Chain A
């Protein structure tokens, strides 16, 4: 062997530029991509209008909108964390949640004339009903469509999930027809409650945050501190070892689907009040957006799903307001692709086997 052809020691130790660039982009690429949009429009606002109130309004509306995505994203992330399945039907469970909520208003007798106290009580009942219905439905879907395929190749449950997504959408079509349906604006969603530093806070924003924050708090407490939550985390880490430790894996997985469904039901109610219209296709779009959020935060990570949801909400609002609402889905999905390219493990997630 010719020793002279070996590179000198120095060059071996220093990493090549391409490698360093790759590391830089995998660490900061996603942050650069994420901050690009608000920073660009922030500078533009400062130049054109001299203050940031328009961007601030966008971002705040984005946060309250993102709260809904966060609720749905939590369902994706919980399920993916435990059985590594993209639960495609989750968005449609959320849609059914909206439909149940709208149906319940009629049953409870909520109308535009109902007083504040009656409204809060009525909505609370609706919320609980929507949550329970969606939770139960999610558990049943798992029982019927995913559990029999637990040991099948990974493509199989994904395909049944897509199948169930279509079934639920068609349930929606039979239920309320195939066009968008306006619902009574019970909470006067667009009424400006207060205005702080040029940022308008609407009733809908308050509602979204008031429902989301306690639920997220309850969920994280449950997962992190209860006995069942501990079982969930153990199963997510290693189902076989968890079983050996005496954890009932099937029950734990059902519990996970129940939690995801409960949150999707709550999101369904908030969405119906927030957007004041529902239709069968909302679940598909919302599901994809929420999945993007979950991936952005790092799938399998609860904190990540919430952060991702809020960020996606902001991106969506900025895009709606500046680029045009007809391009928003393309912008969100472009972000999804960019995340996959730069940082498939997400903002706060660890490397998973799938994305690694």
Chain B
């Protein structure tokens, strides 16, 4: 027993222990779909979970790092998805004399009217659109603090959702509203064969996994950068941060833009994966869904956010519809549990906040604040003052 312990100890002390674990883990994640049928429902659940991880990582930058409660994150999901809908489908079919614009599009998409960009270009477009939208939404909140920010972002989220549903101003049609923009071009990467979701969704899984790895890398680098430290400083004490010379406006807007960019990445991917962009997807409940992931995992904690996103995504797409849905029926109750998924999330939010407000895998600094009372006195003063 002690031999194992000492072995474990020496492994922990090995300089590259973390790296070794990460490589093994990523390797296992990467090859597991090969052991499942190519259209397996479990792979589908995993693709969704990975896409939500990217989205939750984005929200974690805004809420977790910078401490700006954003309740309108769905707006960036919408913009990202519409980037896919606009630039990779025949939505603008009358453009360029009905011949369409094609840049690096797949063999089939190249023959269709409308704008067809390569998936990577769609991602770039999504990032650009969402970061600009993020900054615009951030602007009115700069003078505000606390829950007022939540309300303004929520209002923006609702306005964007309303625009998506209405879909038309005057004669100009910019979305299909509840009719959905569909089909969206299949995922097509340079040097690789076009992905066909009718035969295999493994390709989508690998793309999502790559996006998660990329987002994780960027998030860790951002958190430890000058900008990331500025975000955390603003979260902890805005006045002190400003007097130390942190440019408030720029730093806050960067937080909104960076967070939004990840929302856009994931949104563009999901639009492509679902093969349609429907205005019904962009509701307030979705913002709360993503926020619950961040809170469940632990505000500001990157691994916590990943864990929270995977947990809630699987609860939503696997446990509620497939595992627990029989329970009300067997108890003689007549309702569909999938309808109540948000009630379950609401309950989770309340429980997490009351029982374990720091989340499942809390960030070190925040755990200290909540558990050992560092900074807690200050919070009381703030509430009571």
- A residues neighboring B (CB under 8 Å): 84-86, 144-145, 148-160, 162-167, 169-171, 173-174, 178, 238-240, 284, 288, 291-292, 295, 326-327, 329-330, 333-334, 336-337, 340-341, 344, 353-355
A-B contacts, CB under 8 A, total: 150
Residues of chain B within 8 A (CB-CB) of A337 are 140, 152, 155-156, 159
Residues of chain B within 8 A (CB-CB) of A150 are 383
Stretch at the interface among B3-11, B161-169, B258-266: B161-169
A151–B376 Cα gap in the complex (Å)? 8
Judging by beta carbons under 8 Å apart, are B152 and A154 in contact? no
CB of B159, distance to nearest CB on chain A (Å): 5
CB of A44, distance to nearest CB on chain B (Å): 18
Judging by beta carbons under 8 Å apart, are B163 and A151 in contact? no
A153–B284 Cα gap in the complex (Å)? 24
Residues of chain B within 8 A (CB-CB) of A284 are 284
Judging by beta carbons under 8 Å apart, are A163 and B353 in contact? yes
A173–B346 Cα gap in the complex (Å)? 14
Residues of chain B within 8 A (CB-CB) of A162 are 71, 288, 291, 346, 349
Residues of chain B within 8 A (CB-CB) of A173 are 335, 339-340, 343
**B237 on the interface (CB 8 Å rule)?**
no
Residues of chain B within 8 A (CB-CB) of A288 are 154-155, 158
Residues of chain B within 8 A (CB-CB) of A326 are 162, 165-166
For chain B, the bracket of interface size reads: 35 or more
**What mask results when residues 367 to 385 of chain B are scored 1 for a CB within 8 Å of chain A, else 0?**
0011000001001101111
Instruction: Find residues 326-373 in chain B having any chain A CB closer than 8 Å to their own CB.
Output: 335, 339-340, 342-350, 353-354, 357, 369-370
Judging by beta carbons under 8 Å apart, are B383 and A154 in contact? yes
Judging by beta carbons under 8 Å apart, are A167 and B162 in contact? no
Judging by beta carbons under 8 Å apart, are A163 and B348 in contact? yes
**B214 on the interface (CB 8 Å rule)?**
no
- Known contacts A292-B155, A329-B158, then 4 further A-B pairs from the complex at CB < 8 Å, ordered by chain A residue: A156-B357, A170-B346, A336-B155, A340-B148
A355–B149 Cα gap in the complex (Å)? 10
The one of A151, A160, A171, A327 that contacts B353, using a Cβ cutoff of 8 Å: A160
Q: A152-B357, A155-B69, A156-B357 are in contact. Are A163 and B148 (CB under 8 A)?
A: no
The closest CB in chain A to the CB of B340 belongs to A170
Judging by beta carbons under 8 Å apart, are B150 and A163 in contact? no
Q: A156-B357, A330-B163 are in contact. Are A145 and B350 (CB under 8 A)?
A: yes
A150–B319 Cα gap in the complex (Å)? 34
Q: A326-B165, A336-B151, A340-B152 are in contact. Are A160 and B383 (CB under 8 A)?
A: no
Residue among B299, B339, B370 with the highest chain A CB neighbour number at 10 A = B339
Residues of chain A within 8 A (CB-CB) of B291 are 159, 162
Judging by beta carbons under 8 Å apart, are B379 and A153 in contact? yes
The closest CB in chain B to the CB of A80 belongs to B147
Residue among B141, B146, B339, B345 with the highest chain A CB neighbour number at 10 A = B146
Q: Can you identify 19 A-B contacts, CB atoms within 8 angstroms?
A: A84-B383, A85-B147, A149-B354, A151-B380, A152-B379, A154-B147, A158-B69, A160-B350, A160-B353, A166-B342, A170-B342, A173-B335, A330-B166, A336-B152, A337-B155, A337-B156, A340-B151, A354-B148, A355-B145
Judging by beta carbons under 8 Å apart, are B379 and A151 in contact? yes
CB of B174, distance to nearest CB on chain A (Å): 14
A326–B384 Cα gap in the complex (Å)? 42
The closest CB in chain B to the CB of A342 belongs to B140
Judging by beta carbons under 8 Å apart, are B384 and A240 in contact? yes
CB of B196, distance to nearest CB on chain A (Å): 36
The one of B150, B159, B345 that contacts A158, using a Cβ cutoff of 8 Å: B150
Judging by beta carbons under 8 Å apart, are B162 and A330 in contact? yes
**B295 on the interface (CB 8 Å rule)?**
yes
Residues of chain B within 8 A (CB-CB) of A156 are 353, 357
A341–B291 Cα gap in the complex (Å)? 25
**B103 on the interface (CB 8 Å rule)?**
no
- B residues neighboring A (CB under 8 Å): 67, 69, 71, 140-141, 143-148, 150-152, 154-156, 158-159, 162-163, 165-166, 284-285, 288, 291, 295, 299, 335, 339-340, 342-350, 353-354, 357, 369-370, 376, 379-380, 382-385
CB of B23, distance to nearest CB on chain A (Å): 36
The closest CB in chain A to the CB of B146 belongs to A354
Residues of chain B within 8 A (CB-CB) of A160 are 349-350, 353-354
Judging by beta carbons under 8 Å apart, are A167 and B353 in contact? no
Q: A156-B353, A162-B346, A173-B340 are in contact. Are A86 and B151 (CB under 8 A)?
A: yes
Residue among A152, A163, A240 with the highest chain B CB neighbour number at 10 A = A163
Residues of chain B within 8 A (CB-CB) of A292 are 155
Residue among B143, B155, B156, B299 with the highest chain A CB neighbour number at 10 A = B155
Judging by beta carbons under 8 Å apart, are B384 and A239 in contact? yes
A171–B379 Cα gap in the complex (Å)? 34
Residues of chain B within 8 A (CB-CB) of A330 are 158-159, 162-163, 166
Residues of chain B within 8 A (CB-CB) of A155 are 67, 69, 299
A85–B383 Cα gap in the complex (Å)? 10
Q: A153-B379, A333-B159 are in contact. Are A163 and B151 (CB under 8 A)?
A: no
A96–B349 Cα gap in the complex (Å)? 21
Residues of chain A within 8 A (CB-CB) of B156 are 333, 337
Q: A327-B162, A327-B166 are in contact. Are A164 and B350 (CB under 8 A)?
A: yes
A86–B349 Cα gap in the complex (Å)? 16
A354–B344 Cα gap in the complex (Å)? 31
The one of A165, A327, A333, A344 that contacts B155, using a Cβ cutoff of 8 Å: A333
A149–B349 Cα gap in the complex (Å)? 13
A240–B162 Cα gap in the complex (Å)? 44
Residues of chain A within 8 A (CB-CB) of B163 are 330
Judging by beta carbons under 8 Å apart, are A291 and B151 in contact? yes
The closest CB in chain B to the CB of A324 belongs to B166
A78–B349 Cα gap in the complex (Å)? 25
The closest CB in chain A to the CB of B163 belongs to A330
Residues of chain A within 8 A (CB-CB) of B165 are 326
The closest CB in chain A to the CB of B334 belongs to A174
Judging by beta carbons under 8 Å apart, are A166 and B339 in contact? no
Residues of chain B within 8 A (CB-CB) of A153 are 369-370, 379
